């Protein structure tokens, strides 16, 4: 299904397109029409499934549709377990609500109380809050929750794990009886079910399998390298038999062709597979790769979809993807059918923010291993990433957008709390490669005869 079939208004579709999303995730497909219809919802969906947009988009649409006169009061409340999640959810509200002139704010502990009072007084329509600090505001009489129309409990299981159940119940008691309730949780313990029973009115139920979590069988590694030396490093990894056969991802068709030509000159058997290749050419490339006649198959994101290659030992991200979930799709091509796989990313200083995004999505750091002789030059400064379209001119990072409106950066600053900050020191412009090192003598992937 496409986003246009979900019943969203054009301004929200525009915001979605600006975010670079081309099709809804399963939880978005299922939840958006239900929420738009005003149903209460119980959704089993983990972080990484696209659950935030699944409730933010229809919430924005419903609030907008019923806006009347003076709406300078809080109409929707999203309760979340942590301040990081509060910031992320509110960022999504601002991103998707950009054309709706929606006012929103966050409320969480560990920061000053009075700036929040001022923000509440300015009349936000949507508040994203952690339960404890929200109750502090209730206690001080600085917030009025009596006109809430939509309540969302996001990551409800984590809130219960963190001991927020009493706070949540207190907050629920302050809300008007007539409202729409949405509960998102990765797991369903008895306690969650009890909470859901007391909260939800004849809810629709949506259960989504975890997505964006790569198989445990896939080992991941980042090789920091200067942008001009990536091809040389890839050749080195093949020549030194650290990689015997791999699917290699580039961002553009032009990049795939150029890399294939260069690697051929290095004496490596390669084939490129992308949208400009004819179907017979693609079939032949794939057959050669499967038969082992081709060592590296160079592909773009789109061309790789649906490639059926069993037991692929390596995936190489020659360039990091612009959208973090694409990383998971790419590396999901290895580590299949019980075979150990290896996902290797060749990362230059410009791509540090893209690594941040991916690590945030994965919820963990990817080990860094510098290959001797390819240590990044610390004097090289990051440059904005440009996509080469093959028709000449570059365009700033991202995907094609209808209308040519200014593009939102797909790459928001990573949450400060994330452990990898400092590991990829982007803002300061220092070079990457300062991360933890591993034993570089070890080869990886399959055991070799």
Per CB under 6 A, does 321 bind ligand AMP?
no
Q: Are 415 and 80 in contact (CB under 8 A)?
A: no
Distance of alpha carbon 305 from alpha carbon 293, whole angstroms: 22
Site for ligand AMP in 40-59 (CB under 6 A): 47-53
CB-CB contact of 111 with 129 (8 Å): no
Question: At its nearest, how many Å lie between ligand AMP and the CB of residue 50?
Answer: 3
Burial of residue 402 (CB within 10 Å: 0-12, 13-18, 19+) is: exposed
CB of 60 to ligand AMP, least distance (A): 14
Nearer to ligand AMP, 165 or 361 (CB): 361
Cα 235 from chain centroid (whole Å): 30
Question: Quick one: which segment of 64-72, 103-111, 139-147, 323-331 binds ligand AMP (CB under 6 A)?
Answer: 323-331
Residues in contact with ligand AMP, shown as a per-residue x/- string from 3 to 22 under the rule CB under 6 A? ------------------x-
Please give the residues from 356 up to 385 whose contact with ligand AMP meets the rule CB under 6 A.
361
- Residue 323 binds ligand AMP (CB under 6 A): yes
Yes or no: say if 221 and 366 are a contact pair by the CB < 8 Å rule: yes
Binding mask 72-111 for ligand AMP (x = CB under 6 A): ----------------------------------------
Residues ≥6 apart with Cβ < 8 Å to 306: none
Which ranges constitute the DSSP H helices of 223-372?
230-239, 253-265, 279-290, 301-304, 324-331, 352-362
Is residue 353 near ligand AMP by the rule CB under 6 A? Answer: no
Residue 116: C-alpha distances to residues 86, 112, 119, 139, 146 (Å): 13, 7, 5, 14, 18
> Smallest distance from the beta carbon of 28 to ligand AMP, in angstroms?
6
Number of residues forming the site for ligand AMP (CB under 6 A): 15
- Tokens 């699917």 belong to which residue? 247
- Nearest distance, CB of residue 376 and ligand AMP, angstroms: 26
Least distance (Å) from ligand AMP to the CB of residue 412? 9
Stretch that binds ligand AMP, among 23-31, 141-149, 292-300, 348-356 (CB under 6 A): 23-31
Q: How far is the CB of 208 from ligand AMP (least distance, A)?
A: 10
With CB under 6 A as the contact rule, the residue among 12, 14, 25, 294 that binds ligand AMP is 25
Closest to 218 in 3D by CA, of 298, 312, 325: 312
- CB 431 → ligand AMP: shortest distance, Å? 26
Distances (CA, A) of 406 to 14, 19, 99, 353, 389: 12, 12, 13, 20, 18
Of 99 and 211, CB closest to ligand AMP: 211
Residues contributing to the site for ligand AMP (CB under 6 A): 21, 24-25, 28, 47-53, 323-325, 361
């Amino acid at each position: 299904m496409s986003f246009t079939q979900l019943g969203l208004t054009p301004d929200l579709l525009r915001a979605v397109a600006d975010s670079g999303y081309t099709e809804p995730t399963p939880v978005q497909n299922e939840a958006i029409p239900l929420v738009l219809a005003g149903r209460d919802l119980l959704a089993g969906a983990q972080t990484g499934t696209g659950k935030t947009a699944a409730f933010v988009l229809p919430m924005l649409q419903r609030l907008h549709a019923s806006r009347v006169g003076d709406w300078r009061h809080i109409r929707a409340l999203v309760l979340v377990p942590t301040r990081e999640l509060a910031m992320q959810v509110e960022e999504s509200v601002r991103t998707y609500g950009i054309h709706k002139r929606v006012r929103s704010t966050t409320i969480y502990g560990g920061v000053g109380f009075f700036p929040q009072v001022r923000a509440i007084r300015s009349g936000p329509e949507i508040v994203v809050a952690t339960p404890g600090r929200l109750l502090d505001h209730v206690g001080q009489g600085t917030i009025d929750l009596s006109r809430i129309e939509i309540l969302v409990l996001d990551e409800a299981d984590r809130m219960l794990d963190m001991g927020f159940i009493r706070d949540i119940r207190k907050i629920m008691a302050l809300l008007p009886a007539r409202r729409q309730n949405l509960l998102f949780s990765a797991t369903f313990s008895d306690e969650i079910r009890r909470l859901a029973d007391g909260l939800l009115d004849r809810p629709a139920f949506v259960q989504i399998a975890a997505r964006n979590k790569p198989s445990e069988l896939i080992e991941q590694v980042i090789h920091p390298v200067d942008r001009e030396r990536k091809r040389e490093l890839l050749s080195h990894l093949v020549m030194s038999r650290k990689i015997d056969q791999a699917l290699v991802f580039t961002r553009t068709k032009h990049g795939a062709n150029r890399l294939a030509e260069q690697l051929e000159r290095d004496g490596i058997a390669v084939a490129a597979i992308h949208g400009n290749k004819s179907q017979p050419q693609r079939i032949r490339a794939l057959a050669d790769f499967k038969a082992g006649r081709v060592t590296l198959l160079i592909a773009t994101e789109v061309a790789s979809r649906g490639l059926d290659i069993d037991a692929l030992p390596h995936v190489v991200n020659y360039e990091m993807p612009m959208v973090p979930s694409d990383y998971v799709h790419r590396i999901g091509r290895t580590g299949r059918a019980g075979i150990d796989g290896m996902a290797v990313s060749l990362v230059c200083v410009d791509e540090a923010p893209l690594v941040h995004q991916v690590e945030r999505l994965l919820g963990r750091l990817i080990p860094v291993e510098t290959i001797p002789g390819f240590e990044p030059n610390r004097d090289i400064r990051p440059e904005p990433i440009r996509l080469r379209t093959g028709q000449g001119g570059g365009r700033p990072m991202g995907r094609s957008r209808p209308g040519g409106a200014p593009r939102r950066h797909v790459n928001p600053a990573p949450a400060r709390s994330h452990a990898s900050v400092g590991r990829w020191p982007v803002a300061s412009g220092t070079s990457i490669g300062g991360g933890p090192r591993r034993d570089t003598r070890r080869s990886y992937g399959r055991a070799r005869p």
